[in-house]
Amino acid sequence: MTIKKYVLISLLAMVLMACSTSKQVANTGSKDEEKQADLGPELSEDKRIEFEFLFIEGLKQKMLGNHDLAVQYLNSCLDINPQSAASLYELAGIYAAKGEVVSAKLLLERAIQIEPENRWYKILLAQIYQNNNEYSKAGDIYAILLKDDPNNVDYLYRNALLMASSDQPQRAIDAYNEMERVVGYNEQIALARQQLYREMGDNKKAYSEIQKLIEAFPDIPEYHGILADMYKEDGKMDEALEHYHKVLDMNPSNGFVHFSLASFYLQNNEIEKGYDHARKGFSNAEVAIETKIQLYLMLLNAPDEIKMDDSDFEELINLIIKAHPEDARSYSIMADYLVQQERGSEAREYMLNALDISSDNYRLWEQLLMIDNQLLDFESMAKHSQKALLLFPSQPLLYVLNAVANLQLKDYPKVLKTLENGQLYVTDNKQMESQFEMYRAEAYYNLDEKDKAFSAFDKAIEADPENYMALNNYAYYLSELGIELEKAEVMSAKVIQAHPDNATYLDTHAWVLFKKGEYRLAKFYMDTAMQNGADESEVCVEHYGDIHYKLDDVENAVKYWEKALEMGSSSELLKKKIEQKRYIEEEK
């Protein structure tokens, strides 16, 4: 309820500022001011003609966007007449547009010294101060302007906004009071003052402002809502509840008050009442979906003691979908919720619904591909990423995701082609460059082009020394080949130092040590890996058996080999190990 009114104030500010800005660009002062500024002291006829030519050319080049040329012409004007305030003003505008704030301010301050009565110079300087977050200085300029034009509503409003932004609330209130003197009693002014009084801690005057609004506009329920919100913030729950119900009495279909009541009851641990009002608010199609999303996220992150059940959350999202069936965000929220509930297949259907409505939304495609990846559905991931690339060909992440899918599908030439096509869009992003090189390395390795693979791994790690997946895989491949084992150990050690509980990384380090003949140390790391989930991988379990064999524990070696086979390994070499009860080196 309060939010709605605050938005009105912000919009009014934007409209006033937009109107004023266009006005300032169109005017540089009266004709008399321009004549006095341009010509300055008496000039010879030749100099006068030269000055006017240069000034007009400078303005023309400025309008055409040729700022450097415009600066040259205007500087030439100042060479002829250093007291030309108009030239200083035009130069200041160019420098301000280029972001050269210091130069712009110095030029304008000089122009104002020459022509202190020219309001347009002061307005531009105030705008520059404001854009540079020097709100107090900008407000001071409007205060000066108000002395000459005390009834100018634009000046009054700008001065009030700037004083509020510069943490001078009392000066802002004084400006709003002056504005009210000119335009009469106004709800936006009253609401702005109420906010300022709250910031100052003067709650008595803040409450008084809202009470006056209720008296002046008795048919507007939102003011009771603002008053209720204030009472709730101040811990006056009975008074808050009274005014929330006044809003309902005046407008039973007001969705905003249902949200306020939902928040009220939930904070007071009355979960059923809170959920009932939340459901009514979510059902109201007149309430903006943004407001519903905001409340949904608040409820989702609420403390456990007041958090609703999962079924309640799902019902609320379904109410959003029912109220906003043409908004892709409705389905996206449900998809996110279902992902959290580990219901990926359902989540994907909702994400596809969202994309049917808004296929030009890149974020939705990215979410869809992440769901495909979680589902290990790489055929769908390849297909969906290819569709996304047609719509967003300059998004490098899509090329990476397409490469990941095709790696899993063992279409290695397609991986290399995809990465080649996307390389153009990897600019000034070392982590993305590293991802491209890493997946390129994986494709080359599987195509048995090991030199190219290791070269690509080197590039991946050079681009991002903390690409732990690249470091791990590179180390593992080197250990599998039994080459550069010292390099492999250094890389693998860096990985497990960063991820000491990752079973896959621990297995790699153990395997590097195994290949180096350091079997006891390998078992130490493999023990840790098994405690962290490696016992669910047939490859890791087989490695564990290999390590036991090298430590002369044949019984446990065979035990773990048999377990790896039972887990689904199809390795013929593993079967031979079991049959012969001995470790057999894989042929390279």
Sequence-distant (≥ 6) Cβ neighbours of residue 21 within 8 angstroms: 127
Q: For residue range 242-266, what is the model confidence (pLDDT) as tens digits?
A: 888 887 778 776 777 887 788 788 7
**Residue 96 within any structural domain of the chain:** no
**Residue 139 within any structural domain of the chain:** no
Distance from C-alpha of 107 to C-alpha of 94, rounded to nearest angstrom: 11
Distance from C-alpha of 162 to C-alpha of 136, rounded to nearest angstrom: 7
Distance of CA 299 to the CA centre of its chain: 21
In sign, the C-alpha dihedral spanning 533, 537, 543, 545 is positive
Token code pair at residue 374? 């979680």
Angle CA(583)–CA(585)–CA(588) in degrees, nearest 5?
165
Burial of 215 (0-12, 13-18, 19+ CB in 10 A): exposed
230 in Cβ contact with 210 (< 8 Å): yes
Q: What is the CATH number of the domain that holds 486?
A: 1.25.40.10
Helix, strand, coil proportions of the chain in percent (round to 5)?
Answer: 80, 0, 20
Token code pair at residue 346? 């359902």
In sign, the C-alpha dihedral spanning 515, 519, 522, 528 is positive
Sequence-distant (≥ 6) Cβ neighbours of residue 452 within 8 angstroms: 441, 444
* Per-residue pLDDT, 504: 95
Q: Minimal CA–CA distance to 459: which of 441, 447, 444, 476? A: 441
Q: Which amino acid is at 473?
A: N
Distance from C-alpha of 420 to C-alpha of 309, rounded to nearest angstrom: 48
Burial of 477 (0-12, 13-18, 19+ CB in 10 A): buried
Identify the residue whose tokens are 């409007």: 142
* Per-residue pLDDT, 466: 96
189 in Cβ contact with 176 (< 8 Å): yes
The CA distances from residue 573 to 332, 526, 576, 578, in Å, are: 47, 21, 5, 9
* Per-residue pLDDT, 278: 85
Distance of CA 402 to the CA centre of its chain: 24
**Residue 510 within any structural domain of the chain:** yes
Sequence-distant (≥ 6) Cβ neighbours of residue 463 within 8 angstroms: 430, 431, 433, 434, 437
**Residue 501 within any structural domain of the chain:** yes
Angle CA(383)–CA(387)–CA(388) in degrees, nearest 5?
115
508 in Cβ contact with 479 (< 8 Å): yes
Q: Minimal CA–CA distance to 156: which of 8, 20, 2? A: 20
405 in Cβ contact with 419 (< 8 Å): no
The count of structural domains within the chain is: 1
- Which parts of the chain have pLDDT scores under 70? 1-41, 253, 303-307, 588
437 in Cβ contact with 415 (< 8 Å): no
* Per-residue pLDDT, 18: 30
Q: For residue range 300-331, what is the model confidence (pLDDT) as tens digits?
A: 877 666 667 788 889 999 999 999 999 999 99
297 in Cβ contact with 333 (< 8 Å): no
* Per-residue pLDDT, 172: 81
Which DSSP string do the residues of 95-148 spell out, in sequence order? HHHTT-HHHHHHHHHHHHHH-TT-HHHHHHHHHHHHHTT-HHHHHHHHHHHHHH
Q: Is 43 helix (H, G, I), strand (E, B) or coil?
A: coil
**Residue 519 within any structural domain of the chain:** yes
**Residue 212 within any structural domain of the chain:** no
First CA to last CA distance, the chain: 72
Distance from C-alpha of 278 to C-alpha of 280, rounded to nearest angstrom: 5
**Residue 481 within any structural domain of the chain:** yes
Q: Minimal CA–CA distance to 20: which of 184, 122, 158? A: 158
Q: Is 451 helix (H, G, I), strand (E, B) or coil?
A: helix
**Residue 534 within any structural domain of the chain:** yes
Distance from C-alpha of 466 to C-alpha of 496, rounded to nearest angstrom: 12
223 in Cβ contact with 251 (< 8 Å): no
* Per-residue pLDDT, 11: 27
Q: Minimal CA–CA distance to 228: which of 275, 264, 255? A: 264
Q: Which domain holds residue 566?
A: 466-580
Sequence-distant (≥ 6) Cβ neighbours of residue 32 within 8 angstroms: none
Token code pair at residue 312? 């309640």
Token code pair at residue 231? 């009472």
* Per-residue pLDDT, 266: 79
